[in-house]
């Protein structure tokens, strides 16, 4: 009987040991495995936000793009020794890689002390090629502008007078399209028509609405092309066009998109001329990796 009891006690000890081993394994899986997942998620979020933060400065200012990406990486708790950020693809892409060593708590009992986790991200910028939200005013592609120089553009029918910022018929609601941006998608290669008639009054109303809706105006501040909030409606997407048939402005092909900052709009009896500047700016949309000279860019995560 005593031998039987001893054997039974020994079996219980073995079972308890096995149970404890299984429990430690489960704890290691749940707690340490969860810790690995959490840390990797933090790394992924940090590198995603970092490369996206640099996109507004590409391709013109790669050094500022790197600085912006690094600032965001550090603000998301990525240490300098953990993260590496590089320019790629001739300065049109940012690539970030982060690595972190995670110490285990319960897995140490099973012989595992730590593990490295990593995350990578890549964002690329290119010329805007397809977008929603463009305004129904187009600029002639053969006209040359210098970024940042103030210009006055008369709003009139597209014609061989290329000083006009041609009114385009993108839908049946010209004024609504100008106030809020055209809700349909426009792409390079699309053919559009000029908007007939005198559009001075609806142009003035729409531009004044945009000016009133800028957060800076609502705060009593004056937005400029160098200082404006990211969501300022005075930064608009302008289709760049050329004639389908040379010399005939009845059918216009979109060859690209420009970024335009609106400074002011004139009186109706003067034709509601729009004063503003072409600027470089990045929007949400599809892009071509080939950089053109029109200044409207798009970017996205590609890895």
H-only helix segments in the chain: 2-27, 33-53, 62-75, 174-180, 200-213, 215-218
**pLDDT tens for residues 192-225?**
999 888 889 999 999 999 999 999 988 989 999 9
pLDDT in the model for residue 109: 63
Asked if residues 53 and 67 have their Cβ atoms less than 8 Å apart, the reply is no
pLDDT in the model for residue 13: 56
| 3-state helix/strand/coil string of 74-134 | HHCCCCCCCEEEEEECCCCEEEEEEEEEEECCCHHHHCCCEEEEEEEEEEEEEEEEEEECC
Report DSSP state, residue 18: H
With residue 290 as reference, give the H or E element that holds it. Answer: none
pLDDT in the model for residue 303: 87
Residue of higher predicted confidence among 108 and 8: 108
Mean pLDDT of all residues in 29-46: 83
Say which range, 83-92, 128-137, 243-252, has the weakest mean pLDDT: 243-252
Mean pLDDT of all residues in 94-100: 97
pLDDT above 50: residue 4 = no
Tokens standing for residue 239: 């289709």
CA atoms in the 13 A half-sphere facing the CB of 15: 6
Q: Model's pTM, two decimal places?
A: 0.77
Q: Locate the domains of the chain by residue range.
A: 2-125, 133-301
Handedness of CA 201, 202, 203, 208 (dihedral sign): positive
pLDDT above 50: residue 125 = yes
Asked if residues 120 and 301 have their Cβ atoms less than 8 Å apart, the reply is no
Q: Which residues of 234-253 are buried (b: 16+ CB within 10 A; e: fewer)?
A: bbbbbbbbebeeeeebeebb
Residue 86 pairs in a beta bridge with: 95
Residue 151 pairs in a beta bridge with: 276
**pLDDT tens for residues 228-238?**
988 899 999 99
């Amino acid at each position: 009987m005593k031998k039987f009891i001893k054997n039974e006690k020994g079996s219980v000890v073995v079972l308890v040991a096995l149970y404890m081993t299984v429990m430690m394994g489960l704890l290691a899986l749940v707690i340490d495995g969860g810790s690995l997942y959490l840390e990797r998620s933090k790394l992924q979020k940090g590198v995603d936000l970092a490369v996206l933060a640099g996109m507004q400065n590409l391709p013109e200012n790669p050094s500022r793009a790197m600085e912006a990406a690094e600032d965001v990486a550090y603000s998301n708790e990525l240490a300098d020794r953990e993260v590496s950020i590089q320019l790629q693809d001739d300065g049109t892409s940012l690539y970030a890689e982060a690595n972190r060593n995670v110490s285990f708590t319960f897995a140490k009992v099973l012989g595992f002390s730590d593990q490295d986790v990593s995350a990578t991200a890549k964002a690329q910028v290119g010329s805007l090629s397809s977008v929603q939200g463009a305004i129904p005013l187009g600029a002639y592609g053969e006209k040359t502008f210098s970024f940042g120089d103030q210009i006055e553009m008369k709003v009139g029918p597209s014609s061989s007078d290329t000083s006009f910022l041609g009114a385009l018929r993108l839908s049946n609601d010209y004024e609504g399209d100008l106030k809020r941006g055209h809700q349909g998608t426009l792409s390079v290669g699309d053919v559009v028509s000029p908007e007939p008639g005198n559009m001075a009054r609806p142009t003035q109303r729409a531009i004044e609405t945009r000016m009133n809706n800028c957060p800076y105006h609502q705060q009593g501040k004056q937005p400029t092309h160098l200082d404006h909030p990211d969501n300022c409606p005075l930064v608009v997407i302008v289709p760049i066009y050329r004639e389908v048939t040379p010399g005939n402005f009845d059918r216009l092909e979109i060859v690209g998109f420009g970024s335009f900052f609106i400074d002011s709009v004139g009186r109706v009896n003067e034709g509601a001329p729009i004063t503003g500047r072409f600027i470089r700016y990045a929007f949400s949309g599809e892009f071509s990796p080939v950089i053109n000279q029109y200044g409207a860019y798009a970017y996205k995560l590609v890895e």
